[in-house]
Chains A and B, each alone.
Chain A
Amino acid sequence: MSLTNDQLQTVAHLARIAVEPEWTEALRSDLNGILEQAGRLDDPRLNDLEPMAHPLDQVQRLRPDTVTETDKRETLMAGAPAQEQGLFLVPKVIE
C-alpha cells in the first residue's frame, strides 16, 4: 500500500500540518516504509483475535459527582499566547 501525493496532502490537512514541497518526497518514502511494515499485519493468525485496547483488563472507575476544582484562571491562563478579559483570543471564526 503506497501513499499518493494527494493522500499525503489530505492527511496533512487533517493533521493541520503544512508539508512543504521540498519535504514531500522524503516524507512520502518514510511513510511508505512504515506502511510497508504494516503489511506484516495481514497475517491470518490475527483474524479471529479480539482487538486489545488496553494492556490491563480493568474497568473504568467512576468519580463521585462533586465539585473539587476552584477558580485558577489566573494561573491556568498565564501561558496563553493571546488573551483578553479572561478569554482566549483566536483569529476571527467565521460560521
Chain B
Amino acid sequence: MSTSDTPQRGGDAALINASIAQLRNGLSAGEYTVADLAAVFARRIETIDPSLNSLVSRVEPVEPASSTGRLAGIPFVHKDIFCAKGTRTTCGSRMLADWVAPYDATVHERLTQSGAVLLGKTNMDEFAMGSSNENSHFGAVANPWDTNAVPGGSSGGSAAAVAARLVPFATGTDTGGSIRQPAAFCGVTGIKPTYGRVSRYGMIAYASSFDQGGVIAKSAADCALVLGEMAGFDERDSTSADRPVPDYVAGLDESIRGLRVGIPKQWFSDALDPAVGDAVTVAIDELRAAGAETVEIDLPDADIALAAYYLLAPAEASSNLSRFDGVRFGYRCEDPKDLQDLYERTRSEGFGSEVKRRILVGTYALSAGYYDAFYRRAQKARRLITDHFQRAFEQCDVIAGPVTPTPAFDRGAHSADPAKMYLEDIFTIPVNLAGLPGMSVPAGFVEGRPVGLQLIGRHFDEARLLNVAHQYQQRVDWHERMPSFAADSANDNREG
C-alpha cells in the first residue's frame, strides 16, 4: 500500500485517540488514506512497542478487501490465538513459535471482509493460561500505565496495545476473564460476548466450553461496532449460536432510565481491595445518576466457582493440547530416539510450566477413579453457579461489580504461588461458567493504575451491556485517558 503525498504530519495525536466511527469518516472524506492510517499506527508500533512487548509479530498491511465495510481501512491486531492464513500464529508458546497458520479463523475472515487491516499479532499468556501475561514464551508485557505492573492476561498484549494507542482495536479471548481482567488493568474497554456468539473456528482452544472471542477497544461504541462485524452464526463451529446479530451501534443511545442494576453483595467483601471497591461504587452511582435503579442481589459460592473452573478448564485443556505432539506441525524435539521420547521431550520442551501444570491437573482430574469426584462434581458446581445467575436476573437486567479484587499488580508478585494468582479471576470466572456476556469498562484509578467496572448481562444481551457502558461513558472520561508515555510518544511522533 502506498501512502498519499501529504501524510498527516502532526495529526497522529488526533488520529490515535479518534473513535473508529471518526476514522471511518476521515477516510471516506478523503482526509487521509487507508495507507496513511496504517502507516500512522505501524509507526507507533515501531517506536512504542519495544518498551511494551505487546506484539509478537508485525504484519505488512494489505489493501482491505472492502472499501465500504463498517471497518474498511481500520487497523487492528489479533491476539496471537487467532489463525490468519500465512501469518505466524504462536499462541504465546514455543510449541508454535514458528508455526504459520494454513487457514483463516472465522473471526479473521469476518473482520477482513469488513475491511479491517491487520497490523500484527499480540503477546499473550501461553495458550491463554494466565492472568498476568508473564507466561509467554515471548516474554512479559508491560502495562502502559506503569511499566512495573502486569497488563493482566491472558489477552495482555491486546489490552496493552489498545491502551498505548498502537491500534484502534484488538481481538481477545476470554476463558476465565482473559478479556475483562487485562482490559481493567490497562484502562480500556473490553467485551466478552455470550458463549456461542462469536465463532471459535480458527481460535486455538484452551477450554472449549468456556473460550469465547471478543473485542478490546477504547470505548463501548468502538466495541459495539467491531463486535457487530465479528459475531454471528458459523456452520464450522457446532457450538456457535444460530441467531441474528442485533445492530449493537443502533442501541447505544437508548436511555438507561429505569434499568435495574443488580449489585452482588458478596463481591464487596474483604476479598476486594477497598480502593477498588470505592471506584466501582462511584461508577455505580454514575449509573444511578443516569436513571438506573440498583438492587442488591446474591451471587454466593465464588469459591466453589473457582474450584470448579480450575478443574474443568484444565481437564478440557489436557485433552485439547494433546494434539501438540511434534508429529504434524509445530515444535519437535531434536532427534527423538523413539516415539515415547518424541512425545515427552517435544511436550516438555515445547510447553511452559503453567501450561504443563494445568495439563497435569486436568489429566489427573480425568484419570480413572477421580472423574466423578472432580470433573463430574465440577460440572454440577457449574450448574449451581448458573442457577445463581438465573435467580439474580429475575431481580435485575444487568449486574454491575468489580472486574478484579485489586488493580494491576507488579510483575513477579504472584509467580511464586499459582493458587493465589488464580484468585485474580474470582469475579470473572463465574460469568464464564454460566456462558454469560460480560464487559470491563474503565472506572478510575488507584495509585495511577486503572480500575474496571464489570457489567454482566443475560445470555445474548450484549446490546444492553454495550448500551449501559456507552451511557456511562457519556458521563465520564476514564476511557479517554491515555497513558502519559504513550501520549509523549505521540508528541515525539508529531515533532519527528
Q: State the A residues within 8 Å of B (CB).
A: 1, 3, 7-8, 10-12, 14-19, 23, 27, 30-31, 33-35, 37-41, 43, 45-47, 49-56, 58, 60-61, 63, 72, 75-82, 88, 90-93
Supplied contacts A34-B418, A55-B436, A75-B102, 12 more A-B pairs, CB within 8 Å: A15-B356, A16-B340, A18-B348, A31-B364, A40-B304, A41-B304, A53-B379, A55-B386, A56-B459, A61-B238, A61-B242, A79-B329
B344 engages A18 (CB within 8 Å): yes
Which of A50, A55, A61 has the most chain B CB atoms inside 10 A of its CB? A55
Which of B242, B307, B351 has the most chain A CB atoms inside 10 A of its CB? B307
Residues of A contacting B419 with CB < 8 Å?
Answer: 30, 33-34, 37
A55 engages B434 (CB within 8 Å): yes
A52 engages B360 (CB within 8 Å): no
Residues of B contacting A17 with CB < 8 Å?
Answer: 344, 347-348, 351, 356, 359-360
- Least Cβ–Cβ distance between A13 and chain B, in angstroms: 8
- Least Cβ–Cβ distance between B308 and chain A, in angstroms: 7
**3 closest Cβ contacts across the A-B interface?**
A55-B435, A51-B379, A81-B332
Per-residue 0/1 for B357-374: is the Cβ within 8 Å of any A Cβ (1 yes, 0 no)?
A: 101110111010000011
User: In the complex, what residue of chain A is closest to B353 when comparing beta carbons?
Assistant: A23
* B274-333 interface (Cβ within 8 A of A): 301, 303-304, 306-308, 310-311, 318, 325-332
- Report if B377 contacts A (CB, 8 A): yes
- Least Cβ–Cβ distance between B166 and chain A, in angstroms: 28
User: In the complex, what residue of chain B is closest to A33 when comparing beta carbons?
Assistant: B419
Residues of A contacting B378 with CB < 8 Å?
Answer: 38, 41
A79 engages B348 (CB within 8 Å): no
Q: Given A43-B304, A46-B384, A90-B342, does the pair A80, B329 have CB atoms closer than 8 Å?
A: yes
Roughly how many angstroms separate A61 CA and B351 CA in the complex, as a whole number?
34
Residues of B contacting A50 with CB < 8 Å?
Answer: 380, 383
- Least Cβ–Cβ distance between B318 and chain A, in angstroms: 6
Residues of A contacting B235 with CB < 8 Å?
Answer: 61, 63
Q: Identify B195's interface contact among A3, A8, A56, CB under 8 A.
A: A56
Residues of B contacting A55 with CB < 8 Å?
Answer: 195-196, 209-210, 386, 433-436
- Least Cβ–Cβ distance between B393 and chain A, in angstroms: 14
B238 engages A60 (CB within 8 Å): yes
Residues of A contacting B345 with CB < 8 Å?
Answer: 18
- Least Cβ–Cβ distance between B241 and chain A, in angstroms: 7
- Report if B337 contacts A (CB, 8 A): yes
B381 engages A46 (CB within 8 Å): yes
A52 engages B344 (CB within 8 Å): no
Residues of B contacting A79 with CB < 8 Å?
Answer: 99-100, 102, 328-330
Q: Given A41-B381, A56-B196, does the pair A92, B338 have CB atoms closer than 8 Å?
A: yes
A51 engages B376 (CB within 8 Å): yes
- Report if B17 contacts A (CB, 8 A): no
- Least Cβ–Cβ distance between A59 and chain B, in angstroms: 10
Residues of A contacting B308 with CB < 8 Å?
Answer: 41
A93 engages B418 (CB within 8 Å): no
Q: Given A27-B360, A33-B419, does the pair A58, B239 have CB atoms closer than 8 Å?
A: yes
A53 engages B209 (CB within 8 Å): yes
Roughly how many angstroms separate A82 CA and B325 CA in the complex, as a whole number?
12
- Least Cβ–Cβ distance between B176 and chain A, in angstroms: 13
A-B contact pairs, 20 of them (CB 8 A): A3-B364, A15-B360, A35-B361, A35-B364, A38-B373, A39-B307, A41-B373, A46-B377, A49-B387, A51-B376, A51-B382, A51-B383, A52-B380, A55-B433, A56-B459, A61-B242, A72-B102, A79-B329, A81-B326, A92-B338
B367 engages A14 (CB within 8 Å): yes
- Report if B32 contacts A (CB, 8 A): no
- Report if B343 contacts A (CB, 8 A): yes
- Least Cβ–Cβ distance between A66 and chain B, in angstroms: 12
A12 engages B360 (CB within 8 Å): yes
Which of A15, A45, A49, A81 has the most chain B CB atoms inside 10 A of its CB? A15
B418 engages A30 (CB within 8 Å): yes
B241 engages A58 (CB within 8 Å): yes
Residues of A contacting B341 with CB < 8 Å?
Answer: 91
Which of B100, B337, B361 has the most chain A CB atoms inside 10 A of its CB? B361
B357 engages A30 (CB within 8 Å): yes
Roughly how many angstroms separate A82 CA and B348 CA in the complex, as a whole number?
19
Q: Given A61-B235, A79-B329, does the pair A11, B360 have CB atoms closer than 8 Å?
A: yes
Q: Given A46-B380, A58-B241, does the pair A81, B327 have CB atoms closer than 8 Å?
A: yes
